[in-house]
Structure 1
Amino acid sequence: MLSEPRSGRLAAWGNALLAGLVSPDEAVLAIVGDDAVHRVEGMPGEEGPVGLTLALGRLRGLGVTGWRVALPAPGHPLGLSGPPAFNARALEAEEAVVGYGAPFGLVPELYEAGPGGAEHPEDVHVEVVWHCLPVREAPPADVPSLGEAERELAEALREATLVLTRLDVAASGPVAEAALDAYRARAEAGREVLAPGYPPRAVRVLELAQRVGLLVSLAHAPRYGTGGAHGGAVSASEMAARREALRPVERVARRAQVAAFNAWVEERERERG
């Protein structure tokens, strides 16, 4: 959860595009990021995949006035509203984007291209196909308000610290050090974690959610504990104990991440109401 999900980038920059705060080229560049290319398949009136710029413009013409994010997990349809076919595909991908104003959703499917391999991982390029599918126009499942998410995260951060201390997990080892260094570098670079038009509170909530998510992901690393400079080996039973203890914390972090990405649409709803 340290990095934004692709659905989060698409929703955030897609919303900025709908608000007229960025150009189509700027939005697509931010959405694609380090990937090779993004295409959209299943667009109404199109027989094959189309480019992301065309798809976003076409969906706007079909009535989409905002984008929400879904980050579902088994037993937790976070951000989804149906129908079952869309929910199943989103659950398989562990993410999706749900249109607001028109019944369309997008689910990403990733393909790796290039020679790559273990010796040259930098040569592997990711191509993304977004599948455009019908969605049910209904409130998304289990998404808190920004205020609720912020309060839950503060408690989750304390809980994560207590759990990791109780499980004797220390911030040691190359995996932990590399992840923490990457987080600090991104923060120092002043990266834009959302997109123009989002309220400062949403940015704050997303950053805190990513910090909590980082703690959880590090605790799940196979060699992460008190075994000295290289981290301790962790048994299968210890890993299972960590997963069980941190599951509620991870759930709160995912809920908060969705709340942050969805804040743009929620603000528009309040303004209209």
Structure 2
Amino acid sequence: MPQTEAHEAYEEPRSARLVAWGNAWFAGHASPDDTADAVRGDDESHVVRGLPGADGVGLTLALGRLRTMGATGLRLALPAPGHPLGLTGPAEFNGRAMETGEAVLAVGAPWGLVPEALWHGADHADDGVLAVTWHALPVNPGFPADVPALRDAERELMEGMREATEALVRLDVAGAGPEVQRALARLRSRSSEPDDLLAPGYPPRAVRVLQSARRVSALVALASVTEGAAVSASEMAQRAGALRPLERTARKARVAAYNAAVDEPR
């Protein structure tokens, strides 16, 4: 996998954009139009379905409706099989979020949103239209599962980066090619990640943690698909063992960074 593809594989999901800019809007740091534009990105349209009193509306009206229902902010969930990161239940919402790999939970209102992206048209690259539907579903109140405090996420990420880097170098993953070598180098440099990953109002530590988590995710994506010098079954198993906890740690750090706007003390 080329270096650029690894970065593309870990572009921030739509739920993350909605959480970041939604929290900026709730806090008065972003206008409704700027928030909707930032979340929509290159997509053609975003529609929210199933929200009481606001079914079939755009993001701006949906956020306003959530506020009238008591919401004060948004949290991110990035679940994976066996790891319901950021979820609170019930089973219907968790199942849909697990299938998609992402979701948004309102803070102060028992509702969550799960995106569904659909292409319309024969050729996705040329004349297709990407429409996104956010499915609103009831969620259980409570703090989401397995989300660390931001300071703990940063510490766990640094420890995981050190341990996994040592293991990967020992297995000669760097010998796989220049892409992996550059990914390893990025673990020690912040210059490769932009400073505006999050929306206005987020603390600098959240930006720093997200930068590190993205670099780790890119490394995991590269090391997962390149053979390197680890060609035996036992060496491949060792590499998988080194990457598995690191991938989980990076996802936890990303969620903690996005949720910092509502979970970290001011």
TM category (shorter chain) comes to 0.7 to 0.9
Using the alignment, how far apart are the partners of 2:167 and 2:193 within structure 1?
Answer: 31
User: Counterpart of 1:71?
Assistant: 78
- Which one of the candidate residues 85, 95, 101 is aligned to 2:102? 95
The answer (yes or no) to whether the contact 1:176–1:224 under 8 Å persists in 2 is no
Higher mean C-alpha deviation, range 135-144 or range 236-245: 236-245
The answer (yes or no) to whether the contact 1:2–1:211 under 8 Å persists in 2 is no
What is the CA-CA distance between 1:5 and the residue it aligns to? 1.7
Deviations 1:115-174 (A, max 9, x none): 336xxx465543221100101110111111111011101111112212211332126558
User: Counterpart of 1:254?
Assistant: 251
- Which one of the candidate residues 249, 260, 265 is aligned to 1:263? 260
User: Counterpart of 2:3?
Assistant: none
* Percentage of matched positions with identical amino acids: 58
In the alignment, residue 258 of structure 1 is paired with which amino acid? V
Distance 1:99 1:159, change over 3 A: same
User: Counterpart of 1:15?
Assistant: 23
User: Counterpart of 1:169?
Assistant: 173
Runs of at least 5 residues in structure 2 that lack an aligned partner in the other structure: 1-8
What is the CA-CA distance between 1:235 and the residue it aligns to? 8.1
- Which one of the candidate residues 212, 215, 218 is aligned to 1:211? 215
Across the aligned residues of Structure 1 and Structure 2, the Cα RMSD in angstroms comes to 2.9
What is the CA-CA distance between 1:34 and the residue it aligns to? 2.1
Using the alignment, how far apart are the partners of 1:205 and 1:37 within structure 2?
Answer: 30
User: Counterpart of 1:38?
Assistant: 46
The answer (yes or no) to whether the contact 2:183–2:219 under 8 Å persists in 1 is no
What is the CA-CA distance between 1:66 and the residue it aligns to? 0.5
Distance 1:148 1:173, change over 3 A: same
- Pairs aligned (count): 256
The answer (yes or no) to whether the contact 1:156–1:212 under 8 Å persists in 2 is no
- Secondary structure at the aligned position of 2:106 is classed as strand
User: Counterpart of 2:242?
Assistant: 245
Deviations 1:209-259 (A, max 9, x none): 1111111111112x4525xxxxx9x78886555333311111111111110
What is the CA-CA distance between 1:26 and the residue it aligns to? 0.4
Using the alignment, how far apart are the partners of 1:111 and 1:187 within structure 2?
Answer: 35
Deviations 1:35-57 (A, max 9, x none): 222111111035x5221122111
- Secondary structure at the aligned position of 2:174 is classed as coil
> Structure 1 length as normaliser, TM-score?
0.83
> Structure 2 length as normaliser, TM-score?
0.85
Using the alignment, how far apart are the partners of 1:262 and 1:142 within structure 2?
Answer: 12
Using the alignment, how far apart are the partners of 1:17 and 1:210 within structure 2?
Answer: 24
Using the alignment, how far apart are the partners of 2:192 and 2:165 within structure 1?
Answer: 24
Spell out the pairing of 1:115-130 with structure 2 (5 A cutoff).
115-116=122-123, 121=125, 124-130=128-134
- Secondary structure at the aligned position of 1:115 is classed as coil
Runs of at least 5 residues in structure 1 that lack an aligned partner in the other structure: 227-231
Distance 1:18 1:131, change over 3 A: same
